[in-house]
Amino acid sequence: MEICLKIEAANGSSDGLNFNPMKEYMILSGPQKIAIAVLCTLLGLLSALENLAVLYLIVSSHRLRKKPSYLFISSLAGADFLASVVFASSFVHFHVFDGVDSKAVFLLKIGSVTLTFTASLGSLLLTAIDRYLCLRYPPTYKALLTRRRALATLGIMWVLAALVSYLPLMGWTCCPRSCSELFPLIPNDYLLGWLLFIATLFAGIIYTYTHVLWKAHQHVASLAEHRDRHLSGMARMRLDVRLAKTLGMLLAVLFIFWFPVLALMVYSLAARLSDQVKKVFAFCSLLCLVNSMVNPIIYGLRSGEIRSSAHHRLAHWKKCVRGLGPEGKGEIPRSSVTETEADVKTTPGLDSRELSWPDEL
């Protein structure tokens, strides 16, 4: 309640915009500010460029932009691009330059940061569900998940993420509620609600990918049984290990980059934080930016079809540079092979056409 009294006094000042109590959250020293500025700038630029590249390669391909799977990846890349720009600029402005905004502007900024990261996790969940449906209902997958349904689902997800993220801007702020130890003007009860929402998204991602692994294992075993030992036990084991490694990597990335931040948020709800802990949180927050930089590599650039689109674009640009004109506007080769499909094709006795593997499982 002490901070509430200070904010109330600041609101009663002559200009009405002097939020000096927010400076209590500006706890970084000079060298730490330099480190934050350098890291935010480098990570933000790399993440923005990577996600822009993925968006361009998908949008520029007539085939890819029609596929529901790549609509979800586009949503992920778009959310991560916005996160890179909005988070990096807002974080540097607040922690490095000690920028003080009006209440409405500050809540708009923090709501926008929350929206981008929430939409990123929501896109990851939809991507996981898409890959589960592809394995669970291979014959009817295309009819079940059409482009129109995928766009409608993405629209609902973004609207829900926006509603959850901008609640403080709509009036759910601290005072008389207890204020968060980590975020100015944000009440602890809102932070708890957002953490529960994020925990639900994480639980959905983990549950869905666990089922993806299980269905893939069952499908491979079933094919081996129907093809009379054409697929050896050792080959099945190798394929299961590949799938387990891929899914393990996806979940490990989520855990490494999100757990420290979320754990400190939960801890802040139960205890008063020292300035040292707040400094640790400030640097741990950069892990979310690293996650936005890693996502386009895992979900985008590892895709065989996106790499084929990149090769096609490069070849087209080379022709233009050499003065041959914009010829060869054909789409990316339909024979492009995803990493998971390549794993299947290298497995003796298993025809990948009998499996409807999702791209880059």
Q: Return all residues near 261 (Cβ < 8 A) that are at least 6 apart.
A: 281, 284, 285, 287, 288
Amino acid at 9: A
Give the residue among 354, 356, 310, 355 at the shortest CA–CA distance from 333. Answer: 310
Which pLDDT does position 17 carry in this prediction?
A: 46
pTM of the model: 0.81
Task: Give residue 343's pLDDT band: very low, low, confident or very high (50, 70, 90).
Answer: very low
Percent of the chain at pLDDT exceeding 70: 75
Which pLDDT does position 310 carry in this prediction?
A: 77
**What's the average model confidence in pLDDT over 96-109?**
89
Q: Return all residues near 271 (Cβ < 8 A) that are at least 6 apart.
A: none
Q: How many CB atoms lie within 10 A of CB 257?
A: 20
CA distance 263 to 265: 5
Task: Give residue 72's pLDDT band: very low, low, confident or very high (50, 70, 90).
Answer: very high
Q: Is the pLDDT of residue 75 over 70?
A: yes
Task: Give residue 223's pLDDT band: very low, low, confident or very high (50, 70, 90).
Answer: low
Q: Is the pLDDT of residue 15 over 60?
A: no
Angle, vertex CA 252, rays to CA 293 and CA 151, nearest 5: 60
Task: Give residue 20's pLDDT band: very low, low, confident or very high (50, 70, 90).
Answer: low
CA distance 7 to 342: 59
CA distance 32 to 182: 17
CA distance 357 to 361: 7
pLDDT tens digits, 140-163: 888 888 899 999 999 999 999 999
